[in-house]
């Protein structure tokens, strides 16, 4: 049962423990309303008339640095300003030396997915709470997301199975039509676009209509029948046309969500199998030319949209063919295989540097040995943050979460493949809970705008800290530091301009520092 945690003990608008001079300041118009469900930390309650916010990063006072903290102890987006140049630490635990002249990839952005489940969950909430949630993600006083993904046709995070043309043999797609789920998603996508007009949207298909597939099913082991390769490419154009009619345009499409799934025997939810060679040939002969000859010839194509271990094999098979490669812009990655070393990302970038790498899906809770939804799990926030830092430190340009909103069971999901999400809603009481994962994402998305550039740093002994450094387009330097240790660590940050910042990084905490 939920217990209310004292605002005094959890939301303490206090000076953070810096080594040096600190000015305490809360940027939040409204603080977190903490609730403890017994899973290690707290969630923040949002209702129709109350939800915590954080204003955009404004001008930083001269000789000051901005410091944002979230922690297992209950801090959520707590802000302070410290003084640059203080030298109180003779022997800090960790020294991080920033090298702004060493530059890497540009950052594309951060976001989440407008799935059918997200739309269905939002639709049963009050209008005011719907607006609170969309502002929490895409608004200036929220996470300032600038990416959005949606499913093309049904996926597991739908309440039913469907395609846009279930009329068998309709190769001309005369019966192609969007469904009610699309109308719902479009409503919320357009609301998000009002909050941030610069959202880059991309769409991913899980499966073609059953009649186009070798197994005549939406799921299970099956692939696209070769005689329907042209029709399936036209299906993409039809999708883009119908969404455009309703006011939504897409920056990119992925060629297939998790193409390996449909090769696996008895796969239990929406899928369609492709080998790298099959995807290459279909893009080269069908999808690429079909998009190029349509009004959507600027829509980017992203390949793979699957796990990290596949990236080099897939990229070599597809991108070494110049007739396929000319239609492709990037490689999409899901995080479920990220136990595989990130050096493979370095290899993919080295071999194919002109193609961006983008995290296109991530979630926690699908393991049948753990609960789908854990309200207040700080461990899940740390897993998100560490993966984002690892990805971006190995040439990935951005990170897209999975469902924006799920219910208390982690659904709806027609296949029972329930998972967790950064915002969980109780549609009976008209309440929403911001998970620690939500704040972990915000430490990146809020402060690393599009076209920021990753920069170099070194540390002789990081004590297990995870560190990311970027230079923003406005010339502000941002560091994100994650401490997964059970002890606090004193840190000195030194850059090539002889600016020195000293902070204490508490146990199990996440920090964003800007100067």
Active site residue ranges: 258, 361
CA 397 to CA 420: how far, in whole Å? 24
CA 466 to CA 385: how far, in whole Å? 9
CA 131 to CA 129: how far, in whole Å? 5
Angle, CA of 413, 256 and 386, to the nearest 5°: 70
Which residues, including other chains, have CB under 8 Å from residue 8's CB and lie 6 or more apart? none
User: Nearest CA to 319 among 352, 356, 281, 275?
Assistant: 352
For helices 127-138 and 116-123, the axis angle rounded to 10 degrees is: 140
Which residues, including other chains, have CB under 8 Å from residue 84's CB and lie 6 or more apart? 63, 64, 65, 499, 500, 501, 515
Give the DSSP letter string of 399-414.
EEEEESEEETTS---T
* Strand order from edge to edge, sheet including 489-495: 22-24, 78-83, 64-71, 509-514, 477-483, 466-471, 453-458, 94-106, 489-495, 500-505
In terms of C-beta density within 10 A (0-12 exposed, 13-18 middle, 19 or more buried), how is residue 214 classed? middle
Give the DSSP letter string of 230-294.
HHHHHHHHHHHHHHHHTT---SEEES-SSTTGGGSTT--SB--B--HHHHHHHIIIIIHHHHHTS
For helices 311-319 and 343-351, the axis angle rounded to 10 degrees is: 10
485 CA to centre of own chain: 25
Number of Cα atoms under 13 Å in the Cβ half of residue 254: 31
CA 357 to CA 345: how far, in whole Å? 8
Which residue, chain included where needed, has tokens 């995807």? 279
């Amino acid at each position: 049962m939920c217990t209310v945690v004292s605002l005094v003990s959890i939301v303490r608008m206090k000076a953070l423990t810096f080594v040096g001079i600190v000015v305490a300041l809360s940027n939040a118009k409204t603080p977190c309303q903490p609730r403890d469900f017994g899973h290690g930390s707290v969630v923040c309650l949002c209702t129709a008339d109350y939800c915590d916010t954080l204003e955009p990063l404004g001008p930083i006072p001269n000789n000051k640095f901005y410091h944002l903290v979230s922690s297992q102890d209950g801090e959520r987006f707590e802000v302070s300003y410290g003084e640059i140049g203080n030298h109180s630490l003779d022997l800090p635990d960790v020294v991080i030396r920033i090298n702004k002249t060493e530059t890497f990839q540009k950052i594309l952005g951060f976001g989440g997915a407008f799935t059918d489940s997200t739309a269905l969950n939002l639709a049963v909430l009050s209008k005011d709470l719907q607006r609170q949630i969309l502002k929490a993600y895409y608004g200036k006083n929220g996470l300032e997301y600038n990416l959005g993904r949606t499913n093309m046709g049904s996926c597991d995070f739908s309440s039913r199975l469907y395609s846009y043309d279930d009329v068998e043999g309709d190769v001309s797609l005369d019966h192609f039509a969007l469904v009610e789920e699309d109308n719902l998603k479009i409503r919320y996508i357009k609301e998000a676009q009002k909050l941030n007009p610069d959202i880059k949207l991309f769409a991913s298909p899980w499966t073609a209509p059953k009649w186009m597939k070798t197994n005549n099913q939406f799921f299970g082991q099956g692939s696209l029948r070769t005689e329907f390769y042209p029709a399936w490419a036209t299906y993409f154009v039809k999708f883009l046309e119908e969404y455009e009619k309703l006011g939504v345009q897409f920056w990119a499409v992925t060629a297939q969500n998790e193409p390996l799934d449909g090769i696996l025997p008895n796969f239990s939810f929406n899928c369609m199998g492709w080998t790298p060679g099959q995807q290459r040939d279909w893009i080269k002969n069908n999808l690429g030319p079909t998009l190029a000859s349509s009004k959507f010839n600027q829509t980017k194509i992203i390949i793979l949209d699957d796990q990290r271990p596949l990236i080099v094999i897939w990229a070599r098979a597809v991108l070494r063919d110049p007739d396929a490669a000319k239609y492709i812009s990037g490689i999409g990655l899901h995080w479920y295989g990220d136990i595989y070393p990130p050096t493979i990302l370095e290899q993919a970038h080295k071999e194919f540097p002109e193609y961006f790498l983008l995290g296109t899906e991530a979630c926690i809770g699908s393991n049948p040995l753990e609960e789908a939804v854990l309200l207040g799990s700080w461990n899940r926030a740390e897993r998100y943050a560490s993966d984002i830092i690892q990805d971006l430190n190995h040439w990935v340009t951005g990170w897209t979460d999975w469902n924006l909103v799920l219910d208390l069971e982690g659904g709806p999901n027609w296949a029972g493949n329930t998972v967790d999400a950064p915002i969980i809603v109780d549609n009976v009481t008209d309440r929403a809970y911001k998970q620690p994962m939500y704040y972990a994402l915000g430490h990146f998305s809020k402060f690393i705008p599009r076209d920021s550039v990753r920069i170099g740093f070194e540390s002789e002994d990081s004590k297990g800290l995870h560190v990311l450094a970027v230079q923003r387009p406005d010339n502000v330097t941002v560091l994100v530091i994650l401490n997964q240790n059970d002890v606090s660590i004193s840190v000195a940050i030194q850059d090539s301009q002889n600016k020195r910042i000293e902070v204490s990084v508490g146990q199990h905490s996440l920090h964003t520092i800007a100067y």
